[in-house]
Amino acid sequence: MAARIPEPEAPELVARNLAVGARLAAGATTFAFLGPVFAYLYLRSLNTADLWHPAGVDPPLLLGTAIVLLTAASAVVLLLASRRAAASRNRLLFLASLSFLLGIAAVALQVVEYFVLGFGPTDGGYASVFVAWSGLTAVFALGTMLWLETLIAFMLRGGERDPSQAIGPRFAALAFYWAYLAGLGIVMWVCLYVTA
Amino acid sequence: MNATEPSLLRRLVGFNLATGIVLAVVGYILGRWLGDQIHGASLDYMSESGEDDVSLALGYFVGLIGFLVGLGFANYPASRLIGRPPSLPRPDAQGIGRYFRLTPDHKVVGMQYFTGIGVFFFVAGLTAMLIRTELLQPGQNIWPPDKYLTLVGTHGTLMMGMMTSSVLGTFGNFIAPLMIGARRSAFPRLESLSFWLLMAAGVILLTNLAFGGFQTGWTGYAPLSEEGVSGIDGYLFFFATVGLSMTLLGFNLVVTIVTMRAPELRWGRLPIFVWGIFTTSATMVLAAPVLTVAMLLVLLDRTAQTTFFYPAAGGSAYLFQNLFWFFGHPEVYLLMLPGAGILLQLLPVFSRKPLWGYRLAVAGMLGISLVSFMVWQHHLFVSGLAADLRPFYILSTELISIPTGFIFICALATIWRGRLRLEVPMLFCLAWIFNFMVGGITGIYNSDAPSDTTAHGSFFVMAHFHYTIMGGLVFTFFAAIYYWLPKMTGLTLNKTLGKVHFWLMFIAFNSTFFPLLIVGFLGMPRRIVTYPERWEFLNAWSSVSSFVLGFSMLVFLANLVYSMFIARIPAPANPWHSTSAEWQTSSPPPLHNFDNDPTIGDPHDYGRAPEPHTPGLQTAAEGG
C-alpha cells in the first residue's frame, strides 16, 4: 500500500497547539530565569566578602527604564494587534510592525547599555547577575521579535488571506508570550535597577 | 532506482547527517578562530589550564549551529523570515536515508532515539566496565587518579544526560501518539531537533578526553568546575545542550497529549503510560531550563569572567549546588516516572486484570512530579545547609515516598491474583518491583539528615542511586523494548535469548550493586581510585558481577542483531492481546499511523470478558 501523506492540520488544532505551546513556553521561560533570580537573591543575601554590590557598580537607570518601557509598550501594542486580528488587515499590520520596531529598539538599547555600563562582569556578584539576567532577557526578546517578523513578512505576502493559516491564533499566542516576557522584564527592572 | 528519486550525489550533498558533520567541523574551526581573536583581553584568574575556554566554547557553539544547519534545521525558519507560509514538513520517502536527517515522522524520531541513545548507553556502559576493572584490586592499577575521575564523570554524565530521554525519546515519541489516536505530533520539527541536539551533545561530551578530561563527576560542582582544565567546557556544553533538548522533547509531548488526543479519549481514560509520559514531560519542561542556565552561568564564569561561583569575588560555590540540584532532583524522577508508566501499562496486560487504582496511580505520578521540586536541598545536608531548613527538607523528601507508595500499591494489587504470563517484558517489570524497593528503602537513609551525614559521598549513595535508576528505569526500558519493538519494527524478538538476557542482567545487577551498598555502609568513599585491602573481596565480587552485567548487554545486542537482521520473523498483529490503541494498526505503523480511526476503549480492561486466545497466549518472542 502506498504511504499516505498526513493531511494538513485543521486551523482549530493549529490554534490549540499554539495556545497551549505559548503557555507552556512561558512556564519554561520562567524556570529558565530562575537561575539568575536565584543567584540575585542568594548572592545578595550572602554578600560574600562584602562584594555583592561594591560602590560604583550602578547601572544607568535612565537607559534601563527606557528598555523596560519600550518592551512593555511593544507587548501592549501586540496585544492590541492580536485582539484586532480579525478586524482590519492594515491596522493589524501597522500595530504588529510598530510592536516589532519597539521590541527591536529595546534590544538595541540593551546592547548600547553594555557599552556605557561603567562596570564589567568581574565587578562582584551584582555585576555578574546584571550581565547574565539582562543578557538572557535580550536573547529571549530578540527570539520573540524574530517570531513576530515571520508573521509580518507572511502578511506582507498576503498569506493571511488563506483561512487555513489561522493568522489570528498565531498573533494571539505570540502576544501572550511577549506580554509574559515583558512582565518578566519588569521584574528584572525592579530587581536590578530599583531595589539593587 | 526510481526515476523520481534524487541521485546519490544529490542525496549526499543535501541536508543530512553527512552535511551536518562537515558543517559542524567547519563551524568548530571558525568558532575557535573567532574565540582566539576576542580572548586577548579576558582574565585567567580562575582557570590555570593554559587552554582558551572562550575559543573552545565558541568552537562548540558555532560547530553545533553548523551541524543543525547541515541537517536542514535553518531552512524552515529562513523561509518564514521571508514570509513563506507556515507548513508541515514534507514527509520523507521510505528508506534508510530518513533516519539520517530532519524528519517530521514521530515514529522515525522514536527509532532514531532508540538507536542513538543505545550507542551512547553502550559507550557509558563500557566506561563502567573500565571503572570496575580499576577497582578489582586495591591500589592504583590501570588509571591514574585524574583519568579515573574522568572515566567516572564521563560514565555518570553520559548516563544521566542520555538515559533521561531514553523512554520519552523512544517510546514517548513513537508510542504515545499512537496510544492517543494521533496521526502526528504537535511540533514535528522541534521533536526532531531535540534528537539531533542530544546526539551533538553526546559527541561534545566525549571530546572532553582531548582536553584533559574533567574530574568533577557528573555533578560538576564549583569550585572544581571553575578551576578545571578545558575538558570541563565539554561537560558544561553537554549539559546545557541536553537541557535544551529535554525542554523541546517535553514541550512537544505535553502539547501533543493535551491537544491531539482522539475526541473520545478524555483525561480519565488516558492510558497510564501516557500519564507517565505526560507527568515526566511537564516536569522536564520546567526543570531542564534551570540546568541549561546553570551550565551557561558556569561557562560565563570560565569565559566572560563573571563571578557567580567564585567566593573571592562575591560569588558562592553553594549557589551552583542549589541550581544544579533544583534540576537534579526532579531529574531523578524524570528517570523514574516513565519507568512507572511502563510498569503500570504492562502489568495489566500480563496479569490479565484491569489496572488496580487507576486514579491512585495518576495521583501518585502527579504527586511525585510536584513534590520533586521541593526536595533538592537534601543534597546539601552536609554542605552547610542552615540547620533550621533541615527538618523541612527531611519531611518533604520523605513525603515523596507517599506518592511513590501509591505506584507500588497499584502495581502489587494489579498482579495480585492475576493470571500471570511470565513473558520477557513481564519479567523485567517484576524485577522493577524488587529493585526499586531496595532503592527506595536505602533512599530513606539518605533523606534523613543524621544518617545522610555518614552515608553522604559514599558507595552507599552510589549503589542506592543505581538501584533506583538502573533498577527502576533501565529494567523497565528493556521491558518496553521487548514489548513494543515488535510494534515498531514488525519483527519478533527471540524469546530464549530474551530470557537469558533478563536472568543474567537481574542476577548480575544485584550481585554488582548489593556489595557496594555494604562497602559504602562500611565507609568506602566514591570517586576515589583506591581503597583499603579489607574491602577487596566485596569490590572484586562487584567487579566480576559487573562484567557479567556487561555480558548480559551483549546478549541483548546479539538478540537484536539476530532477530532484526537474520531471523526476521514477522510479529503477530497483537502479540500480547493488548487493548490499547497502538495495536490497532499495522506493525510497523504506516506513515499516517492509522488506516481507520482507532477505537478508544478502556486501555486497561483485561480479564472481564472471555478472551479467545488467552490459554495459549500468542507471544511476540516465540522465535526461540
Of B184, B258, B286, the CB nearest to A20: B258
The dihedral of CA B180, B184, B190, B196: what is its sign? Answer: positive
Under an 8 A CB cutoff, do A43 and B80 touch?
Answer: no
Which position has the higher pLDDT, B607 or A33?
A: A33
HEC readout, B515-537: HHHHHHHCCCECCCCCCCHHHHH
B290-336 residue pLDDT tens: 999 999 999 999 988 899 999 999 999 999 999 999 988 898 889 99
The tens digit of pLDDT for each residue in B72-87 reads: 999 999 999 998 888 7
Q: What is the DSSP string of B558-603?
A: HHHHIIIIII-PBPPSSTT---SGGGGS-SSPPTTS-SSPPP---T
Nearest to B475 by CA among B547, B549, B417: B549
DSSP-based three-state secondary structure for B458:
strand
Name which of A5, A27, A49 is nearest B311 (Cβ-Cβ).
Answer: A49
Angle (CA) B6-B11-B12 rounded to 5° is: 150
Please give the residue that has the higher pLDDT: either B261 or B620: B261
In B, residues 176-235, which contact A (CB 8 Å cutoff)? 183-184, 186-187
Tell me if chain B has a CB within 8 Å of the CB of A128.
yes
pLDDT > 80? residue B622: no
Confidence at B35, pLDDT banded by 50, 70, 90: confident
* CA dihedral sign, ordered B607, B610, B614, B619: negative
Nearest to B251 among A28, A149, A157 (CB): A28
Question: What are the mean pLDDT values of chain A's consecutive 10-residue runs (196 residues total)?
Answer: 61 92 97 96 93 92 97 97 81 94 98 94 94 97 97 88 81 97 97 92
First vs last Cα of chain B: how many Å apart?
37
pLDDT of residue B92: 61
Which tens digit of pLDDT belongs to each residue from B512-533? 999 999 999 999 999 999 999 9
Q: Please, which pLDDT band fits residue B619 given cuts at 50, 70 and 90?
A: very low
Q: Which of residues 543-602 of B touch A (CB under 8 A)?
A: 590-592
Closest CA–CA distance from residue A140 to any residue of chain B (Å): 13
As beta bridge partners, residue B491 has B570
Span of B12-16, B269-273, B309-313 with lowest mean pLDDT: B12-16
pLDDT in tens, B365-407: 999 999 999 998 899 998 878 888 899 999 999 999 999 999 9
Chain B residue numbers with beta carbons less than 8 Å from the beta carbon of A28 are: 247, 251, 285-286, 288-289
Q: Which own/partner pairs from A127-131 qualify as long-range (CB within 8 Å, at least 24 positions apart)?
A: A127/A57, A127/B306, A127/B307, A128/A39, A128/A43, A128/B300, A128/B301, A128/B306, A128/B307, A128/B308, A128/B314, A128/B315, A129/A36, A129/A39, A129/A40, A129/A43, A129/A192, A129/B308, A130/A59, A130/A192, A131/B300, A131/B304, A131/B306
pLDDT of residue B237: 96
Scanning the structure block, which residue is given the C-alpha cell 582536553? B211
A1, A21, A39: residue with CB nearest B255: A21
Bridge partners, residue B570, by sequence: B491
Alpha-carbon distance of A185 to A110, in angstroms, equals 12
Is A28 within 8 Å of chain B by CB?
A: yes
B306 touches chain A (CB under 8 A): yes
pLDDT over 90 (residue B49): no
- At residue B145's C-alpha, the angle toward residues B139 and B146, to 5°, is 170
Chain A residues closer than 8 Å to B80 by CB: 150, 153-154
Q: Is the N-terminal amide bond of B77 cis, ω within 30° of 0?
A: no
String of DSSP letters for B56-95: HHHHHHHHHHHHHHHHTTTHHHHHHHTTPPP-PPPPPPSS
pLDDT of residue A1: 42
* B81 interaction partners in chain A (CB closer than 8 Å): 146, 149-150, 153
Tell if the CB–CB gap between B314 and A51 is shorter than 8 Å: yes
Domains of chain A and any CATH numbers: 36-194 (1.20.120.80)
**Is residue B428's pLDDT more than 80?**
yes
Q: Which amino acid is at B201?
A: A
What are residue B175's phi and psi, to 5 degrees?
A: -90, -40
Phi, psi dihedrals of residue B118, rounded to the nearest 5°: -60, -45
| Window from B383-392, B471-480, B488-497 with minimum mean pLDDT | B383-392
Whole-number mean pLDDT of chain B? 91
Pairwise pLDDT comparison (A37 vs B617), residue with the higher score: A37
Would you tell me which residues 51-90 of chain A have a C-beta closer than 8 angstroms to some C-beta of chain B?
A: 51-52, 54
Contact criterion met (CB below 8 Å) for B134 and B148:
yes
Q: Residues spanned by CATH 1.20.210.10 within chain B?
A: 103-584
Q: Rounded to an integer, what distance in angstroms lies between the CA atom of residue B520 and that of residue B526?
A: 8
Residue A36: phi and psi, rounded to 5, are: -65, -35
Instruction: Report A:162-191 residues touching B (Cβ under 8 A).
Output: 162, 165, 170
Residues B382 and B456 sit within 8 Å (Cβ to Cβ): yes
Sort A168 into a burial class: Cβ within 10 Å, 0-12 / 13-18 / 19+. Answer: middle
ipTM: 0.94
For residue A50, count other CB atoms closer than 10 A to its CB: 9
Q: What is the mean pLDDT of residues B159-182?
A: 95
Distance from C-alpha of B192 to C-alpha of B169, rounded to nearest angstrom = 10
**Burial class, B225, CB count within 10 angstroms (exposed 0-12 / middle 13-18 / buried 19+):** buried
Q: Give the gap in angstroms from C-alpha A72 to the nearest C-alpha of chain B.
A: 24
Supply the pLDDT for residue B50.
57
Does A52 contact B323 at a Cβ distance shorter than 8 Å?
no
Å from B572 to nearest chain A CA? Answer: 19
Q: B252, B190 in Cβ contact below 8 A?
A: yes
Q: Do A31 and B308 touch (CB under 8 A)?
A: no
CA distance A17 to chain B (A): 6
pLDDT score for B3: 47
Interface test with B, best of A41, A53, A97, A128 (most B CBs within 10 A): A128
CATH of B103-584, one of 3.40.50.2300, 1.20.210.10, 3.10.20.30, 3.40.50.720: 1.20.210.10
Q: Which candidate from B85, B306, B323 shows the least CB-CB separation from A165?
A: B85
Per-window interface: B 33-92 vs A, CB < 8 A: 43, 77, 80-86, 88, 91
Per the CB < 8 Å rule, is A125 touching B308? yes
pLDDT at B596: 81
Give pLDDT tens digits for B545-576: 999 999 999 999 999 999 999 999 999 999 99
Cβ pair A48:B88 closer than 8 A: no
Split at pLDDT 50, 70, 90, the class of B97 is: confident
Residues B505/B509/B510/B515 CA torsion (nearest 10 deg): 150
Cβ A150–B297 below 8 Å, yes or no? no
B251 contact residues in A (CB cutoff 8 A): 21, 24-25, 28
A126 contacts chain B (CB < 8 A):
yes
Helix (H, G, I), strand (E, B) or coil at B491: strand
- Amino acid of residue B72: G
**Per-residue 3-state assignment (H helix, E strand, C coil) for A138-195:** HHHHHHHHHHHHHHHHHHHCCHHHCHHHCHHHHHHHHHHHHHHHHHHHHHHHHHHHHC
Q: Quote the longest CA-to-CA distance of chain B.
A: 78
Q: Give the CA distances from residue A41 to residues B152, B511, B596, in Å, rounded to whole numbers and listed in that order.
A: 33, 46, 56
Quote the pLDDT of residue B87. Answer: 78
CA neighbor of B42 nearest in space, from B59, B60, B55: B55
Q: Do A49 and B258 touch (CB under 8 A)?
A: no
Look at residue B47 in the predicted model and tell me its pLDDT. 47
For residue B307, give the C-alpha cell.
Answer: 563571578
- Asked if B610 reaches chain A (Cβ–Cβ under 8 Å), the answer is no
Ranking A32-46, A84-98, B201-215, B454-468 by mean pLDDT, the lowest is A84-98
Whether residue B539 contacts residue B531, with contact meaning beta carbons closer than 8 Å, is answered with yes
Chain A residue with the nearest C-alpha to that of B91: A5
Q: What percent of chain B has pLDDT over 70?
A: 93
| Angle formed by the axes of helices B145-163 and B231-259, nearest 10° | 10
Interface membership of B285 toward A (CB under 8 Å): yes
Whole-angstrom Cα distance, residue B103 to residue B92?
A: 7
Among chain B residues, the shortest Cα distance to A127 is held by: B306
Contact at CB, A122 and B259, closer than 8 angstroms:
no
- Does the CB of B450 have a partner CB in chain A at under 8 Å? no
Alpha carbons B256 and B246: distance in angstroms, whole number: 15
**8 Å CB contact between A85 and A167:** yes
